[in-house]
Every structure is written in structure tokens, then in C-alpha cells.
Amino acid sequence: MEDLLKSVVKERRAQKCHSAFVDSLIQSSLTEPQIMEDCMVFTLAGCVITANLCIWTLRFLSTSAEVQDKLYQEVLEVLGSEPVTLEKVPQLRYCQQVLMETVRTAMLTPVAARLQEVEGKVDQHVIPKQTLVIYALGVVMQDPDTWSSPYRFNPDRFEEESARKTFSLLGFSGSRTCPELRFAYTVASVLLSSVVRHLRLGAVKGQAMEVRSELVSSPKDETWLTVCSRT
């Protein structure tokens, strides 16, 4: 991937017309390694994470008519007949709750890693500075001591600010905003607002969902839905 991105950067530098995402990075004061890192982050977010976030969300909506109808009402109230815009996305608060609960229920990112910037301590175990720490997010996201009915898809749990705060500390860059997840949320919000405004989703009877947990959790088999027009 790095070799491919380097070739793209070299090609784009030679062109006079600049309009792609990588061009904005090239025109900044970032070093080439920083450009490579940002390209990789958004390539991953734009493909694997965003795609699976959308797949899981549509699946959960198809099995919960109540959640789907509540999301539909919010879309009508916030957007009306107008298209979704970047300025309107933050106003889709329930949509954000749906996406958060999808990440949690599907264990979308079951593991995370971070270089320990300061010395830490867990019980009597000291974690030295500059240690690479692996976080078992999949375990924490469905911990019954943290979440009531942890295996139930319930976006209403994120109405409470305390739940949102707990969720933000699960490794998605902690107090620093994770650009990858923000990007995925924005793309998914556009998709969901467009889909639920025109279509009602339904589940296929007898279809069981099995999870394949890797760096990003995905359905083990193809996911099928039924759709009908809301008009």
C-alpha cells in the first residue's frame, strides 16, 4: 500500500490541477511519512471500516422497526425534503446514537493499539513509557458491568452523556478525536439519511448473522435485506 501511495503522490506532484484529497496533503507542510500515514488512515476508513459500519447498521435497522422509525422521524425533522449536508450531520443526534450502538454491538473494531506515552500502572503491574499496548475493545464493548443488556441493540443507551463519554474512552484516540471514525460516521450518516427517507428495511426470515472478527469485524456470510418504498 505504501509503494502504491508513494507512486500516486509522485504522479500528483507533477500535475498542475489539484483537487483530490492527497493534493491537499501535498500542499500542506506535512512530511512524506505523515502524508503516507494520513493516506493509509483515510483509505482504510473509506473502504473497510465505513463499508462494514454501513453493512452492520442496515442489518440492525432491518431487525428493529422501532429504531428505524425513530431514525426516519429525525431525518424528516432535521432535513425535511432537503439533501443532507455536512452542516446538518451533527444535528442528526439519534443517527449518531445508532452508529455508536452499531460499533458497540457489532464490535466493529475488536482490538486497538496505542504507544504508551507515559508510564502507566494496572494493579501492581507497571507499563513502561513507549510500550505498545493492545486494547481488547471487543471485550469492553460488551462488558455487562459497563453496559446493561450488552448484547441488545439499543441506541437509546447513548442518550446519556455518561454513556457517550464511556464510549469515547474505549480506545478511539481517547480525548483526541479519531479522524478515521469521524470520517466513517459522516459517510454512514449520509447513507442512512438517504436510505431511510425513501425505503423501509426488513430482515430476511431465518437468516443468522455470524461475525468474522479481524482488525475490523464483518459478517461471515452475505447479508440480505428486504426493502419497500415508503411511498
Could you give phi then psi for residue 129, rounded to 5 degrees? -60, 145
d(CA 33, CA 48) in angstroms, rounded, equals 22
pLDDT in tens, 10-39: 887 787 676 777 788 888 888 888 888 888
Global pTM value: 0.79
CATH 1.10.630.10 for domain 50-106+141-229, yes or no, is: yes
- Rounded Cα distance, 200 and 183, in Å: 25
- pLDDT of 214: 81
114: left (phi over 0), alpha (psi -120 to 50) or beta: beta
Set of cell numbers at residue 123: 494493579
Determine the pLDDT at residue 45: 64
Sign of CA dihedral 39, 45, 48, 51: negative
Q: What is the pLDDT of residue 179?
A: 61
Strands 132-135 and 112-115: antiparallel
**Which residues participate in the annotated binding site?**
178
Average of per-residue pLDDT values in the chain: 85
What local confidence, expressed as pLDDT, does residue 78 receive? Answer: 96
- 33 close to 197: Cβ distance less than 8 angstroms: no
Binding site residues for heme, as ranges? Answer: 178
Other CB atoms closer than 10 Å to residue 11's CB: what's the count? 10
Residues 127 and 66 sit within 8 Å (Cβ to Cβ): no
Q: State yes or no: pLDDT of 174 exceeds 50.
A: no
Instruction: Tell me the C-alpha distance between 228 and 230, whole Å.
Output: 6
Q: What is the pLDDT of residue 195?
A: 94
Grid coordinates of 40: 493509509
State how far the Cα of 35 lies from the Cα of 158, in Å rounded to an integer. Answer: 35
Please, which residues have CB within 8 angstroms of residue 47's CB and are 6 or more apart in sequence? none
Residue 48's H or E segment, with its range, is: none
pLDDT for 178: 59
Alpha-carbon span 172 to 181, nearest angstrom: 8
Give the mean pLDDT of 166-194. 70
